[in-house]
Amino acid sequence: MSILHEIGSSGLAVDLQNLSRRFRGEYALHDVSLQIPTGSVFGLVGLNGAGKTTLIRHIIGAYKAQHGRVVVLGGDPVLQPQVVLKKVGYLTEEDSLPRWMRVGDLIDFTRAIYPTWDEVYAKQLCEQFELIRSSSLIALSKGQRARAGLLVAIAHRPELLVLDEPSSGLDPVARGDILEAIIRTISDDGRTVLFSSHLLDEVERVCDCIAMMHEGQIVESLTTEQLQDRYCEVIGAGAMAEVAARFPQAFGWRQSGTEWSTVVGCDWLNQQVDSRQLGVIERREISLERWFMARAGESKQKSPVAVGTEGDNHV
Amino acid sequence: MSESFALMKLSVLHHRRLLLVLLVTLAIGQAIAATLFVMSGMVHWPGVDLLATGVFCSFFVLLPAAFAGALAFDFSHGSDMNSIESGCSHWLLRAPLATWKIALVPAVLKTVWISAIWLIVGLVMRIGGVVSIPTFAPCFMLSAGVISLSALTWVPLQKSWYRLGGLGLLLILLYALAALVFGAAYAENEAWRAPLGWMGLLASIACHAGAVAGLFSACRRARIQPHGVIPEGVNALTQMKERHSELAARVRFFSSPQLALLWHEFAKRRATLVGVMCWGAMPIVLLFGLFVSVSPVSLFLLFLVFAYVAGFSVVVKRPRIDGGSASTLPIYVLASPFTSARLAWTSLIVSLVMVGVVFSCVLVVYLLWSLWPSNRHEWLQWSAQQAAYVGDPLRTQGVMIEGGDSIGAGVRITLAITFAAGLFFVSRIAAFQWVPLAGRTWFELLVVLVSLALTMAPFSYFLHWFMLQRDWDHVRQSFYESLTWLPSIVILCIVLKLFASLVCSYTLWHKKLVSLPNIVLVHGLWWSLVILAASLVTALLPYPQATWVTCAGATIVVVPLVRILAMPLTLAWNRHR
């Protein structure tokens, strides 16, 4: 069951079907299918090298699909960049802005190429980010350059905003006050945001839907509500090895002193007559970080006790 | 591995592609030159100076290698001359290495490279018996020049124009030194020649030592700045000035995205153009205008040198990203809503304008040449010869040639030659613009190898045939016989070119890279250019052989079409990997 079906979307901002990509024989993306509903704030999480940036580069047309299909806002970003990319705002973690320009040059250039440019909004953002038109980009700090990049990515009010690790250049104040606020504003306008980040608390606060990638595949994708409905964290006392066999679908085992904890499916746990018989002393709501760490650990190293199959947990 | 050796390896690896191409070209060129030198002692053909041809062949490949000495073996960061920050690799500046090692390694390698090239030049000139030249002083002098250039690019400065100003001072110093080194042997007072020669050598050594010290100082300054590479105070003082600069703060409204892209392409390369004009074009203008007299050889060399300089002005600095798996286009361009065709052809237009600006400096050289009475006399004589040659067939028809007509004929032929040479060299540069757009090193090397093979194969066949000849009259007769094939070859080339352009146009349309009206527009513009150029050359050239059909045939062959059409294809290949 896909997120799309559950949300009942009126359309798709991004539709990836069986997308595969290989670099020197190694799969960077392997048979990835992903649908991002219009109007959602979609978080993409995963370890380094999981394939997030490769996937995003397919969305902006920097990579041509070797196998599979990429549809962005109803068009192909490779065949119709002049149509699709007009409606896409993109900010990357790379410090890629042209350093020979001034802030004003960058704004003027971007204004000319995006017909939907909102001059009032651009001025407002310029003031909010404390950017001065006459400042050379080379003389700005990394954080200031990231703000300039964010300004030109959103001032044309894109239908799809793609943010690939945008927080890496921003200080905590900018992250909290600017990035999240902007993502929310864009989302409130009914626009779509694809947000890739390592900062899970940020993703948790901002995103409606989350997909986790690992080794070029979408391990799982779900909404933030589904995360709570589907998983929970249980804590017990004693030796982890002794109780592990009682939790056939658990993953993300942790032992801390005499306590152990693991992530289990809520449905499975609810079916158990008495969870105390399993050794559970506490049941907690799961945080995104706990789920991510459990998932990443499960994918990275299949422990003999974490036997949950990936297929069972797919949405 | 010692630090110095590691640095040496790094400096070679940094420009390994350039060095590889140069070494291969040098080897091929010198092998051809050596063959011609050997042949000159074995066979004698009237009217053919194999020795001089060998010298020319050798210099043809030595010239770019000498120019490359300014770039190669440098730990450059890729910043331009218009930048305030240090041009030395920032990563290297932060590395735990002694400053003197970072400075000394490129200095030594540049000295070795330049000296080796100069020694080959000396050897070739000695074999060719052209003129005796000093051996060691120029090695130090030229090395000092290229090391000083590195020092100028490495030092962080408060203002970018300081760098260009420093360059001007450096050029003046080098001219003065060159006058001392090369002019010593021609001093009127013979007693002064030897002391002046020694003075030139000592001054060159002193300049070389100064340049190395300058490089060390630049490196040290780049390392101790508070921001690492940006000069102290720039973030406070310069930013404050920028904030209050009305010029910098003015809002620019572009009437169309195309104009914005055109502005972007030009503004991006403006600093390169300024650098090429200051470093390359202006020194050559002065060198040719003040020190070289008018002759067919000097004119040919002038065109050749400006072709190289114009070529340098459009060399694209390419970032290396993700080991070649990602596009080399800047991300903000890659993700912009421009079509690949728009990006490629806008880049071509700006390149052509830059090349045109550089190549038009030839006219400044003409102006300087015309200031010298000896040059004017030489040119007038040549004009009279041409007028007489053109006039002979007319005289037989009863038309008389007046004195003023000879100047007119000279002006027309000079303009026609300049226009044709400009069109030829600009076309050659434009013809290779599609290659770097692909953003793939292996592809560039492949194109270079294929081009070399296509050029060298017929040349080798001709050389092999030529070496077997013992009768000059037979060679001449064969040459004239081969000319009868020329129209057929040109027609074949035109047919192939038009067929290839159709295939390329279909591919562009099929891949939806360019719409049909735009393909037709490009073809229409190309044909208009060809017809205009052919008509202009025909109108200017008074020779009866220069018919419109001949000129049009040559123009069609010379002006690239298929490779211009291929530009969106290679750019899309780079953009959408």
Q: What is the pLDDT of residues A41-66, one digit of tens each?
A: 999 998 888 899 999 999 999 899 99
List, for residues A127-153, the tens digit of each pLDDT value.
Answer: 988 888 888 888 788 788 888 888 999
Tell whether A143 is within 8 A of chain B (Cβ). no
List, for residues B23-72, the tens digit of each pLDDT value.
Answer: 888 888 888 888 888 887 777 766 667 777 788 778 777 888 888 877 88
Phi and psi of B54, rounded to 5°? -65, -45
**pLDDT higher than threshold 50 for residue B410:** yes
**pLDDT higher than threshold 90 for residue B508:** yes
pLDDT at A5: 44
User: Which of these ranges, B83-97, B131-145, B187-201, B290-304, has the smallest mean pLDDT?
Assistant: B83-97
**pLDDT higher than threshold 80 for residue A169:** no
**pLDDT higher than threshold 90 for residue A201:** no
Mean pLDDT of the region A9-24: 86
Mean pLDDT of the region B132-143: 87
Beta bridge partners of A137: none
Cα dihedral across residues B142, B147, B148, B150: positive or negative = positive
Contact B564, B505 (CB under 8 A): no
Contact A250, A262 (CB under 8 A): yes
Q: pTM of the prediction?
A: 0.73
pLDDT at A276: 67
**pLDDT higher than threshold 90 for residue B19:** no
List, for residues B355-393, the tens digit of each pLDDT value.
Answer: 999 999 999 999 999 988 888 998 988 888 888 877 655
Q: Indicate the pLDDT class of residue A194, thresholds 50, 70 and 90.
A: very high
Do the Cβ atoms of B577 and A62 come within 8 Å? Answer: yes
Do the Cβ atoms of B254 and A79 come within 8 Å? Answer: no
Tell whether A96 is within 8 A of chain B (Cβ). yes
Number of Cβ pairs < 8 A linking chain A and chain B: 118
Question: Å from B438 to nearest chain A CA?
Answer: 13
Query: Cβ contacts of residue B221 below 8 Å, gap of 6+?
Result: B86, B155, B156
- Catalogue the E-assigned strands of B327-438: none
CA angle B444, B450, B454 (to 5 degrees): 145
**Chain B residues with CB-CB distance to A29 below 8 A:** none
Mean pLDDT score across all residues of chain B: 84
Window 112-171 of B, Cβ < 8 Å to A: none
pLDDT at B536: 94
Question: Å from B145 to nearest chain A CA?
Answer: 27
The ipTM value here is 0.79
Distance CA B351, CA A314 (A): 53
Query: Cβ contacts of residue A192 below 8 Å, gap of 6+?
Result: A13, A14, A36, A37, A38, A39, A40, A41, A42, A159, A160, A161
Do the Cβ atoms of B576 and A82 come within 8 Å? Answer: no
pLDDT at B229: 57
Q: Indicate the pLDDT class of residue B313, thresholds 50, 70 and 90.
A: confident
Contact B280, B358 (CB under 8 A): yes
pLDDT at B331: 87
pLDDT at B28: 87
pLDDT at B25: 85
Question: Å from A45 to nearest chain B CA?
Answer: 21
Do the Cβ atoms of A112 and B254 come within 8 Å? Answer: yes
Cα dihedral across residues B69, B72, B73, B74: positive or negative = positive
Do the Cβ atoms of B249 and A133 come within 8 Å? Answer: yes
Could you give the dihedral angle defined by the CA atoms of residues B148, B153, B154 and B157, in that order, rounded to the nearest 10 degrees?
110
Q: Which among B235, B330, B512 is the nearest to A98, CB-wise?
A: B330
- A interface mutation test: which of B227, B232, B576 has the most A CBs within 10 A? B576
Of the candidates A152, A95, A144, A92, the residue with the CA atom closest to the CA atom of residue A121: A152
- B interface mutation test: which of A29, A88, A94, A96 has the most B CBs within 10 A? A96
Residue B401 DSSP one-character state: P
Q: Which among B254, B268, B512 is the nearest to A98, CB-wise?
A: B268
**pLDDT higher than threshold 70 for residue B324:** no
**pLDDT higher than threshold 60 for residue A99:** yes
Structure-block tokens of residue B469: 């000849």
Mean pLDDT of the region B518-546: 92
The secondary structure of A244-302 as a DSSP string is GGG-TT-EEEEEETTEEEEEEEHHHHHHSS-GGGGTEEEEEEPPHHHHHHHHHHHHH--
Distance CA A238, CA A276 (A): 13
**pLDDT higher than threshold 90 for residue B202:** yes
**pLDDT higher than threshold 70 for residue B18:** yes
Q: Indicate the pLDDT class of residue B92, thresholds 50, 70 and 90.
A: confident
The secondary structure of B23-88 as a DSSP string is HHHHHHHHHHHHHHHHHHHH--BTTB-HHHHHHHHHHHHHHHHHHHTTTTT--B-S--TT-SS--B
Query: Cβ contacts of residue B482 below 8 Å, gap of 6+?
Result: none
| Helix or strand holding residue B538 (H, E) | helix B516-540
Do the Cβ atoms of A133 and B254 come within 8 Å? Answer: no
- Of residues A67 and B458, more confidence is placed in A67
**Beta A160-164 vs A41-46: how paired, if at all?**
unpaired
Window 145-184 of A, Cβ < 8 Å to B: 152
Tell whether B204 is within 8 A of chain A (Cβ). no
- Of residues B416 and A236, more confidence is placed in B416
Distance CA A104, CA A110 (A): 10
Do the Cβ atoms of B248 and A92 come within 8 Å? Answer: no
- B interface mutation test: which of A56, A109, A159 has the most B CBs within 10 A? A109
Tell whether B240 is within 8 A of chain A (Cβ). no
Question: Å from A80 to nearest chain B CA?
Answer: 8
Window 57-116 of B, Cβ < 8 Å to A: 80, 82-85
What is the amino acid identity at position B318?
R
Q: What are the CA-CA distances from residue A282 to residues A231, A292, B86 (Å)?
A: 14, 20, 60
Contact A46, A164 (CB under 8 A): no
Question: Å from B333 to nearest chain A CA?
Answer: 10
Mean pLDDT of the region B548-558: 93
**pLDDT higher than threshold 50 for residue B21:** yes
Question: Å from A210 to nearest chain B CA?
Answer: 24
**pLDDT higher than threshold 70 for residue B146:** yes
Tell whether B442 is within 8 A of chain A (Cβ). no
Q: Which among B235, B264, B575 is the nearest to A109, CB-wise?
A: B264
Nearest CA in chain B to A86: B337
Count helices and strands (H / E) in chain A.
Answer: 14, 13
Q: Which among B83, B259, B335 is the nearest to A88, CB-wise?
A: B335
3-state secondary structure of A37: strand
Contact B7, B98 (CB under 8 A): no
Q: Find tokens 């990319």 and name the residue.
A: A85
Tell whether A93 is within 8 A of chain B (Cβ). no
Question: Å from A115 to nearest chain B CA?
Answer: 9
Mean pLDDT of the region B252-270: 90
**Beta A67-72 vs A192-196: how paired, if at all?**
unpaired
Percent of chain B with pLDDT over 90: 33
Of the candidates A284, A266, A281, A275, the residue with the CA atom closest to the CA atom of residue A236: A281
pLDDT at A72: 94
| Helix or strand holding residue B166 (H, E) | helix B160-183
**pLDDT higher than threshold 90 for residue B206:** yes
Q: Which among B238, B325, B337 is the nearest to A23, CB-wise?
A: B325
Question: Å from A183 to nearest chain B CA?
Answer: 20
**pLDDT higher than threshold 90 for residue A189:** no
Nearest CA in chain B to A61: B576
**Chain A residues with CB-CB distance to B239 below 8 A:** 135, 139
Q: Find tokens 């409905």 and name the residue.
A: A229
pLDDT at A73: 92
- Side-chain half-sphere of B458: how many Cα atoms within 13 Å? 3
pLDDT at B243: 53
Burial of B477 (0-12, 13-18, 19+ CB in 10 A): exposed
- Of residues B157 and A72, more confidence is placed in A72
Do the Cβ atoms of A113 and B337 come within 8 Å? Answer: yes
Distance CA B525, CA B345 (A): 13
Q: How many residues does chain A have?
A: 315
Structure-block tokens of residue B153: 């690019």
What is the amino acid identity at position B561?
L
Neighbours of B8 (CB within 10 A): 19
- Of residues B470 and A261, more confidence is placed in A261
Tell whether B205 is within 8 A of chain A (Cβ). no
Percent of chain B with pLDDT over 70: 89
Q: Indicate the pLDDT class of residue A68, thresholds 50, 70 and 90.
A: very high
Q: Indicate the pLDDT class of residue B238, thresholds 50, 70 and 90.
A: low
Mean pLDDT of the region B429-450: 89
Mean pLDDT of the region B290-312: 88
CA angle B116, B117, B119 (to 5 degrees): 65
Task: Tell me the range of A198-202, B126-130, B508-512, B541-545 where mean pLDDT is highest.
Answer: B508-512
Tell whether B251 is within 8 A of chain A (Cβ). yes
Question: Å from B499 to nearest chain A CA?
Answer: 26
**Chain B residues with CB-CB distance to A60 below 8 A:** 334-335
First CA to last CA distance, chain B: 38
**Beta A88-92 vs A160-164: how paired, if at all?**
parallel
Do the Cβ atoms of B335 and A85 come within 8 Å? Answer: yes
pLDDT at B82: 66
pLDDT at A305: 37
pLDDT at A288: 86
Nearest CA in chain A to B237: A139
Nearest CA in chain B to A66: B577
List, for residues A285-314, the tens digit of each pLDDT value.
Answer: 888 888 888 888 776 554 433 333 333 333
Window 255-314 of A, Cβ < 8 Å to B: none
Nearest CA in chain B to A88: B335
Mean pLDDT score across all residues of chain A: 82
Q: Helices A119-128 and A142-154: crossing angle, nearest 10°? A: 160
**Beta A259-265 vs A251-256: how paired, if at all?**
antiparallel
Distance CA B555, CA B537 (A): 10
Structure-block tokens of residue A266: 């809520």
Distance CA A261, CA A278 (A): 12
Mean pLDDT of the region A61-80: 91
Assign 3-state DSSP to chain B and report helix, strand, coil percentages, each to 5.
80, 0, 20
How far, rounded to the nearest angstrom, does the alpha carbon of residue B286 sit from its chain's CA centroid? 17
Q: What are the CA-CA distances from residue B32 to residues A250, B258, B572 (Å)?
A: 76, 48, 39
Q: Which among B238, B259, B268 is the nearest to A100, CB-wise?
A: B268
- Side-chain half-sphere of A149: how many Cα atoms within 13 Å? 32
pLDDT at B75: 84
Q: Indicate the pLDDT class of residue B316, thresholds 50, 70 and 90.
A: low
- Of residues B464 and A68, more confidence is placed in A68
**pLDDT higher than threshold 80 for residue B530:** yes
Q: Find tokens 């421009």 and name the residue.
A: B338
